[in-house]
Chains A and B, each alone.
Chain A
Amino acid sequence: MDRRVIGVETEFGITHAGGTHRGLPPDEVARYLFRPVLRWGRSSNVFIPNASRLYLDVGSHPEYATAECDDLLDLIASDRAGELIMHDLAQRAEAAMAQDGFDGSVYLLKNNVDSQGNSYGSHENYLIPRTTHFRRLSTILLPFLVTRQIMVGAGRLVPATDESDPHYAFSQRADHMWEGISSATTRSRPIINTRDEPHSDAAVHRRLHVIVGDSNMSETTSLLRYGATDLVLRMVESGVPVGDFELENPISAIRHISHDITGQAAVKIRNGGEQTAVDIQARLLDRARRFVRENGAHHERVEQIFELWERTLQAVASGQHAPIERDIDWAIKKRLLTDVAERGSLPMGHPKLEQLDMAYHDVHPTRGVFNLLAAHGRASTQLQPERIQRAIVDPPATTRAALRGRFLSTARAMGAEHTVDWVHHKLVDRPLDALMLKDPLSAEDPRLDTLLGRLGERVATLSEQTLDQRRAQEVPLALSERYKLGHPQELAEPPLI
């Protein structure tokens, strides 16, 4: 597909620390966190004006799912907006908790593992044609996903166990994957989840659900993650030969690779022989470059993605990580941990280093360690801060998300009871007019205008609020009202007679 819808769902870790007493447990903090959401939407599972979904998931994890994006930078902006939305909620929770006598700070961590080894995810969704041959998809995509961690892993300081000393690994999630492909998520986490909820026309599309990824802090790493995966999917869909790297045991391979930061770990290929993650990725990169030479680039970041891909593989292969220390999450974090360990002569498993590993993922703009590194030029970015601010309130303009955003904000402004999800748009008073939008790539539909027209002629008096006007509203910015209803007199005078 040249135009593909991509979305990412992020579960955040939540904790309360630094008060006079022991912090509140995560489920209680999450309840404080979602108070403004509950007040706004009478539910802790809502679609918000930027068309994304905000909810409390299994295990009290605050979760944010980006709206449908067909542009990589829109996707990264929406994902980053999710961090700021969580931060806004965290600040409000902290204040509300303080009023109730619980001092201390609320932390929202965009990572994937807690201190006891519980894991929570970063799930990617890629729209693929229903015609994609699933066996071909899995034989190419699984080895790609198993080895992708050396480029886009978030890095983790693995504490000492009975079998191993504390050490640094590429990935947060690798140890928590139990199957190659299956339909389960919590019971036995598979790398590719086959749960088939396309949220679109099931005869045309399928939603590929990838749950193996680490949550990324770096926009640059994110670009490589989604960009390279999309390129591999394009090759799968086109039917070109991509090579055979099917792994004998994907689950042992993903762990083996993660725990060898030298990149020398070799994994068994089903058809014989052993290869390293760099070998496999280098061949995929080579194929992707050839594919783009022959078929053309489908967006303007393709060359940048190839350059990052190649540079990262070279850094891993050579063990010289300096060239990627501003761009790739695991390397940015590793540099920091090394600097701190050297300065304080700290051993590898020191609690201070474990704390830094977590604090790297703190979404707080001036306390989160990744954000501090970026502010000091030690981590690269791809987006202007203004674009991320806009993504807190604006739906992506080029997909179905634009329609969802308009529907829910208009219904709210008109005071009309409504329900909305990825596909359905319903005014409670007009159940027969419920609208299903099954094409996630379409940002226009006259039926939506008709439906909104049913809300009465005052719809014509709605005016869009500026970002400043929305900031001035009391609710969190992400929940601010997009439209303001005009005075009835603003309607044109009805014709006489």
Chain B
Amino acid sequence: MSTQPQKRPQGGNDDGAAPEAAATAGANAQAQKRAGELDSLLDEIDSVLESNAEEFVKGFVQKGGE
């Protein structure tokens, strides 16, 4: 992760804002990583499910139990 001071998108010359911007960038990167992980998990789930969801659901019929 970059520790270089970064400029705020809208400019501004307040030095105090730099770490905050870096933190935001870090958080964004984190969020992106999480979103990527979620994407690949959802892809994996997609790949194991029966492709015809409606048919699977309608076909799942039991007799009552107990």
Say whether B45 contacts A61, CB under 8 Å.
no
Q: Which of B41, B42, B50 contacts A18 (CB 8 A)?
A: B50
Say whether A376 contacts B41, CB under 8 Å.
yes
A105 to B, closest residue via Cβ = B50
Q: Digit string of A350-383 for contact with B (CB within 8 Å is 1, else 0)?
A: 1110111011000000110100110010100000
Say whether A358 contacts B57, CB under 8 Å.
yes
- The answer to the question of A343 belonging to the interface, with a C-beta cut-off of 8 Å to chain B, is yes
Say whether B60 contacts A186, CB under 8 Å.
no
Q: Chain A residues near B61: list those with CB within 8 A.
A: 15, 26, 114-116, 118
- The answer to the question of A203 belonging to the interface, with a C-beta cut-off of 8 Å to chain B, is no
Most chain A CB within 10 A, of B42, B50, B60, is at B60
B34-66 CB contacts (< 8 Å) to partner A: 37-39, 41-42, 44-45, 48-50, 53-66
Q: Which of A22, A343, A355, A373 contacts B57 (CB 8 A)?
A: A355
Q: Which of A15, A17, A119, A350 contacts B64 (CB 8 A)?
A: A119
Q: Which of B41, B53, B59, B65 contacts A15 (CB 8 A)?
A: B59
> Given A18-B50, A372-B48: A355 and B62 within 8 A (CB)?
no
Say whether A355 contacts B53, CB under 8 Å.
yes
Say whether A58 contacts B65, CB under 8 Å.
yes
B64 to A, closest residue via Cβ = A118
- The answer to the question of A32 belonging to the interface, with a C-beta cut-off of 8 Å to chain B, is no
Least distance between A75 CB and chain B CB atoms (Å) = 21
Q: Chain A residues near B41: list those with CB within 8 A.
A: 372-373, 376, 378
- A27 to B57 Cα, complex, angstroms: 18
A187 to B, closest residue via Cβ = B66
- The answer to the question of A340 belonging to the interface, with a C-beta cut-off of 8 Å to chain B, is yes
A357 to B, closest residue via Cβ = B57
| Chain B binding surface SS class | helix
Q: How large is the interface on A (under 10, 10 to 19, 20 to 34, 35 or more residues)?
A: 35 or more
Say whether A59 contacts B63, CB under 8 Å.
yes
Say whether A60 contacts B63, CB under 8 Å.
yes
Q: Chain A residues near B59: list those with CB within 8 A.
A: 15, 17, 22-23, 115
Say whether A114 contacts B49, CB under 8 Å.
no
Say whether B66 contacts A189, CB under 8 Å.
yes
Q: Which of B54, B55, B60, B64 contacts A358 (CB 8 A)?
A: B60
Q: Chain B residues near A58: list those with CB within 8 A.
A: 63-66
B58 to A, closest residue via Cβ = A115
Say whether A17 contacts B56, CB under 8 Å.
yes
- A168 to B53 Cα, complex, angstroms: 18
- The answer to the question of A121 belonging to the interface, with a C-beta cut-off of 8 Å to chain B, is yes
> Given A58-B66, A59-B62: A355 and B56 within 8 A (CB)?
yes
B19-46 CB contacts (< 8 Å) to partner A: 37-39, 41-42, 44-45
- The answer to the question of A11 belonging to the interface, with a C-beta cut-off of 8 Å to chain B, is yes
Q: Which of B44, B55, B66 contacts A121 (CB 8 A)?
A: B66
B51 to A, closest residue via Cβ = A18
- A60 to B64 Cα, complex, angstroms: 9
Say whether A356 contacts B50, CB under 8 Å.
no
Say whether A369 contacts B53, CB under 8 Å.
no
Chain A residues within CB distance 8 Å of chain B: 11, 13-15, 17-18, 22-23, 26-27, 57-61, 105, 107, 109, 114-116, 118-121, 123, 185-186, 189, 211, 339-340, 343, 350-352, 354-356, 358-359, 366-367, 369, 372-373, 376, 378
Chain B residues within CB distance 8 Å of chain A: 37-39, 41-42, 44-45, 48-50, 53-66
What are 13 pairs between A and B in contact, CB < 8 Å?
Answer: A11-B66, A17-B50, A17-B59, A60-B62, A61-B63, A115-B59, A118-B62, A186-B65, A343-B42, A350-B53, A352-B53, A366-B48, A369-B45
Beyond the given A22-B59, A185-B66, please list 4 additional residue pairs across the A-B interface where CB-CB is below 8 A. A115-B57, A120-B64, A359-B49, A366-B48
